[in-house]
Amino acid sequence: MAIPLSYNLRNLMARRTTTLMTALGIGLSVAMLLSILAMVEGLRSAFAATGHPLNVMVMRKGSTAELNSTLAQETFRIIKTKPGVARDARGEPKASLELVTVILLENPEIPSGININVRGLTADGFAMRDSDIRIVQGRMFQSGRREVVVGQGIADRYPMARLGKPLQFGKGEWQVVGVMDAGRSAANSEVFCDLFQLASDQNRETTLSSALLRATDEVSMRVLMNTLADDKQLSVDALPEAKYYADQTASGQPIQAVGILVAIIMAIGSGFAAMNTMYAAAARRSAEIGTLRVLGFSKLAILTSFVLESLLLSLLGAIFGCLLALPLNNLETGIGNSVTFSETTFSLRITPAIMATGFAFALVIGGLGGLIPAASAARKEILTALRQN
Amino acid sequence: MSEVVIETRNLTKEFARDEFRIAALKHASIQINKGDFVALMGPSGSGKSTLLHLIAAMDRPSNGDIRVLGEDLRSLSDGAIARWRNAHVGFIFQSFNLLPVLTALENVELPLKLTRMAKSERTAHATKALQLVGLGERLTHTPRQLSGGQEQRVAIARAIVTDPDLILADEPTGNLDAASARDVLEMLVTLNKEFGKTIVMVTHDPHSAKSASSVRYLEKGELLPPGAKPVDWDA
Ligand SMILES: Nc1ncnc2c1ncn2[C@@H]1O[C@H](COP(=O)(O)OP(=O)(O)OP(=O)(O)O)[C@@H](O)[C@H]1O
Ligand SMILES: [Mg+2]
């Protein structure tokens, strides 16, 4: 019914160099977009993977992060007995008082150092996370000792924080006695140690940072959060742990915004390149367009054919873009957080959905870039088209 | 009385050039019957191509009436004209106008893409048309791999593959050597004599015009009466 696609494919092959250059231009903007999306996705999944669905995070009212929150021992004693808090086999409430601070770690790439979260917690607190965490090297820290367990992401990226190495912070030296694999959860980029040892190092025996509570079920979880938030005396905020980490993804937003802006600017650039290529193609093939019209092909058939050719061009661009961006998949990197002043390590993740977005993006570039030249080719009078050669 | 295939009355075509209007064709009235082979001759710029383009509905007249194969061309929409031309008119250009990226077979098959014909049937028709012009062995050659004479034969195959009633040719031998020109003219005569196609051919070459059954002359946009020639026409 229409001008065969092979006509477009062979024309793209006939002007190989132009085709490759234009497709490469589109490919670069696709690669740019893919890497931004991969980063956002990596961040999102790093945080989304954190938090038992029934864990409630309690912080001082108005705190946006554990680092700037304070929670008194006294308050913790009250909140852990509230109705709705689950109990363990011994009948003790599943609750963890925690102290979060930061230490500066350096690696050859970042000689100036990066802030890393150090979390002081008890064996109970660790147990509340044990579904996510596995000790893969060494052993667990012992209470009352200056020992730490580091996340796998930390051990991988900071040679100074590997098993057996001493870390200098607080009132002296701490020993790395274990490495924990916390999957994609936030603990993978944290350092865990004994709560009371850290508290005494930091002179914060009575005011710690936050508490983690395990609710018995979803309904009680909501009631528990309301009860805590409504208690004027306590003056705390309570939110699902998962939500707390999901909100941290927001720290990726400025980068995401800049990245997407750059991708859009590049897209406009490569859209114009596609447009230019298709204008040149339509001009060079003016007589062919006239001939096709004489053979009985409609203006719409001409329009469709040239838009399709531009789409094929951008499809090639999308393939280039994916090939360029794919090596980034699973690349480990870290990101500083302006709220917590600490770094989270995460992997760039190029998912099928992200690749599909890249293809859609390229097709939009090609479609829009091809539309105007195609329309002007289709609009031409037959004799005008035939005469231009 | 034979059937009238082309009938124009006071057909006029003006082109706007700067502030002027140039009359490329003035009040041309012509009747061409089914089975005629008419050659259009005349000096350069006399309006031959303009008349042919109007008959093919590749352009619209400024004034006058034109009926081709029973259709009032002025009343048809662009889409209807495209379909009409696809089904009923084969056009042959001076410069062949094959699509360079397609093979001979694909070029000839192209007009059939607009019909309901199945792929296998299209290929069969196109192959037959190419065999008819003596290019049965050149199906997969691209235009670049063919000589000018062969290219024009592919173009003829393309013009006849839809089995049109009317074949229009604008200086079909203009770019060819003498031998190839003779082949092309022979083919047109065959199409006219054996297949009953009505043919209108623009030509500069008096020798080519001899293949036609009648010749009409144009001069300065005017179609001269049958038998009349431009004043200092030396041929
Ligand atoms: N699109 C156009 N715009 C302006 N003038 C045109 C246009 N097309 C044709 N003309 C003019 O109309 C006149 C007739 O042109 P036409 O092409 O019909 O001549 P022709 O007899 O075919 O000449 P040739 O033998 O050189 O092909 C010429 O003066 C030409 O310049
Ligand atoms: Mg002419």
B166: CATH? 3.40.50.300
Same-domain pairing of A127 and A273 = no
**B16 touches ligand 1 (CB under 6 Å):** no
How many structural domains does chain B have? 1
Q: In chain A, which residue's Cα lies nearest the Cα of B84? A: A296
Q: How many CB atoms lie within 10 A of CB B228?
A: 12
The closest-lying atom of ligand 1 relative to the alpha carbon of residue B46 is: 21
Q: What is the pLDDT of residue A339?
A: 42
Domain for residue A246, yes or no? no
- What integer pLDDT is reported at residue A64 of this predicted model? 83
What was the ipTM of the complex prediction? Answer: 0.95
Q: Which residues neighbour A141 within 8 Å (Cβ) at sequence distance 6 or greater? A: A147, A148, A149, A177, A178, A192, A193, A194
Q: Which residue do the tokens 């603990």 mark? A: A187
For an interface test with B, the pick among A16, A294, A304, A388 (most B C-beta atoms closer than 10 Å) comes out as A294
Is residue A40's pLDDT more than 80?
no
According to the 3-state scheme, what is the secondary structure of A284-351? Answer: HCHHHHHHHHHHCCCHHHHHHHHHHHHHHHHHHHHHHHHHHHHHHCCCEEEEECCCCCCEEEEECCCC
The answer as to whether B26 is a domain residue is no
What lies within 8 Å, CB to CB, of A61 at 6+ separation is A235, A236, A237
A68, two tokens: 């700037």
pLDDT of residue A186: 80
Ligand 1 near B20 CB (within 6 A): no
Cross-strand partners of B31:
B7
CB-nearest to A4 from B59, B93, B113 is B113
* Alpha carbons B121 and B113: distance in angstroms, whole number: 11
DSSP tag of A87:
B
Specify if B4 maps to a domain.
Answer: no
Note whether B34 and B198 are within 8 A (CB): yes
Whether residue A299 is predicted with pLDDT greater than 90 in this model: the reply is yes
Out of A75-89, A101-115, B84-98, B141-155, pick the least confident. Answer: A101-115
Which residue in this structure is represented by tokens 């397609």? B102
Q: Is residue A54 part of a domain?
A: no
- How far is A299 from B77, CA to CA, in rounded Å? 12
Q: What is the pLDDT of residue A331?
A: 73
- Cβ atoms within 10 Å, residue A162: 15
* Contact list, A295 vs chain B (CB under 8 Å): 85-86, 91, 110-111, 114, 158
Quick one: DSSP state of residue B6?
A: E
pLDDT at A16: 94
Chain A hits for B101, Cβ within 8 Å: 7, 10-11, 14
Same domain as A166, residue A118: yes
Give the mean pLDDT of A42-50. Answer: 69
C-beta of B46 in contact with ligand 1 (< 6 A): yes
Instruction: State whether residue A298 sits within 8 Å of chain B by CB.
Output: yes
pLDDT in tens, chain B (235 residues): 579 999 999 999 999 888 888 999 999 999 999 999 999 999 999 999 999 999 999 999 999 999 999 999 999 999 999 999 999 999 999 999 999 999 999 999 999 999 999 999 999 999 999 999 999 999 999 999 999 999 999 999 999 999 999 999 999 999 999 999 999 999 999 999 999 999 999 999 999 999 999 999 999 999 999 988 888 887 6
Residue B136 in any domain: the answer is: yes
Tokens of B19: 């502030």
Could you tell me if residue B155 is inside a domain?
Answer: yes
Ordered DSSP codes for A135-161: EEEE-PPPTTSSEEEEEHHHHHH-GGG
- Identify the domain containing residue A141 by its residue range: 62-234
- Give yes or no: residues A68 and A208 share one domain: yes
Q: Which of residues 347-386 of A touch B (CB under 8 A)?
A: 381-383, 386
Nearest to B198 by CA among B209, B208, B188: B188
CA distance B53 to chain A (A): 8
The residue among A237, A214, A270 whose CA lies nearest residue A93 is A214
Residue A337: inside a domain? yes
Of B53, B59, B86, the CB nearest to A295: B86
pLDDT for the residue A39 = 80
Q: What share of chain B is helix, strand, coil (3-state, %, to 5)?
A: 35, 25, 40
The token pair that represents A120 in the structure block: 């002081």
A222 and A307 together in one domain? no
Q: What mean pLDDT do residues A376-387 have?
A: 94
Where a domain ends, among A234, A259, A280? A234
Q: Which of B234, B95, B100 is CA-nearest to residue B174?
A: B95
Per cent of chain A over pLDDT 90 is: 60
Residue A221 has pLDDT above 90, yes or no: yes
Which positions 39-58 of B are in contact with A (Cβ < 8 Å)?
A: 53, 56, 58
Determine the distance separating the centroid of ligand 2 and the alpha carbon of B166, expressed in angstroms.
19
Asked whether residue B230 is assigned to any structural domain, the reply reads: no
User: Per-residue pLDDT tens for A332-381?
Assistant: 666 555 444 445 666 778 889 989 999 999 999 999 999 999 999 999 99
pLDDT at B90: 97
- Do A369 and A221 share a structural domain? no
Residues A36-65: b if buried by 16+ CB within 10 A, e if exposed: bbbbbbbbbbbbebbbbebbbbbbbeebeb
Task: Provide the token pair at B37.
Answer: 């082979």
Position A341 scores a pLDDT of 42
Residue B82 lies in domain: 36-60+76-215
Answer yes or no: are the C-beta atoms of B36 and B198 closer than 8 Å.
Answer: yes
Domain termination residue (choose one: A199, A234, A269): A234
| pLDDT for the residue numbered A42 | 76
Tell me phi and psi for residue A73, to 5 degrees.
Answer: -50, -45
Please check whether residues A228 and A100 belong to one and the same domain: yes
Closest listed residue to residue A99, CA positions, set A174, A169, A182, A196:
A196
Question: Nearest-CA distance from B1 to chain A in Å?
Answer: 32
In B75-134, the residues whose Cβ lies within 8 Å of chain A are 78-79, 82-83, 85-87, 91, 93, 95, 97, 99-102, 106, 110-111, 113-114
- The answer, for A2 touching chain B at a CB cutoff of 8 Å, is yes
Amino acid, single-letter form, for residue A172: G
For position A347, what pLDDT does the model report? 73
User: How many Cβ atoms sit within 10 Å of the Cβ of residue A140?
Assistant: 14
Could you say which of A207, A234, A261 is where a domain stops?
Answer: A234
In a domain, A241, yes or no: no
- Cα-based distances in Å from A387 to A275, A288, A382, B57: 23, 10, 9, 16
Given a cut of 50, whether residue A110 has pLDDT beyond it is yes
The β-bridge relationship of strands A210-214 and A207-208 is: unpaired
* Per-residue 3-state assignment (H helix, E strand, C coil) for A211-257: EEEEECCHHHHHHHHHHHHHCCCCCEEEEEHHHHHHHHHHHHHHHHH
Cα(B32)–Cα(A349) distance, rounded to whole angstroms?
Answer: 73
On whether both A42 and A70 belong to a single domain, the answer is: no
Q: Nearest Cβ partner of B82 from A14, A291, A297?
A: A297
Number of domains chain A contains:
2
Copy the structure tokens of residue A69: 């929150």
A256 and A226 in one domain? no
Per-residue pLDDT, A332? 64
A313 and A380 together in one domain:
yes
Per the domain annotation, does A245 fall within a domain?
A: no
Q: Which pLDDT score is estimated for A389?
A: 64
Q: Is a pLDDT exceeding 80 seen at residue A45?
A: no
A104 and A224 housed in the same domain: yes
> A7, A12, A288, A295: best mutation site toward chain B, by most B Cβ within 10 Å?
A295
Mean pLDDT of A232-251: 82
Strands (E), chain B: 4-17, 20-33, 37-41, 63-68, 71-72, 89-92, 166-170, 198-202, 214-219, 222-223
Segment A301-317 shows an average pLDDT of 96
**Residue-wise pLDDT tens digits, A183-201:** 777 888 899 999 999 999 9
Q: Are A324 and A209 part of one and the same domain?
A: no
Q: Does the beta carbon of A299 lie under 8 angstroms from any beta carbon of chain B? A: yes
Tell me which DSSP letter residue B138 carries: -
Model's pTM, two decimal places?
0.76
DSSP conformational letter for B139: T
Please report the atom of ligand 1 found closest to the CA of residue B204: 25
Whether A130 and A228 share a structural domain: yes
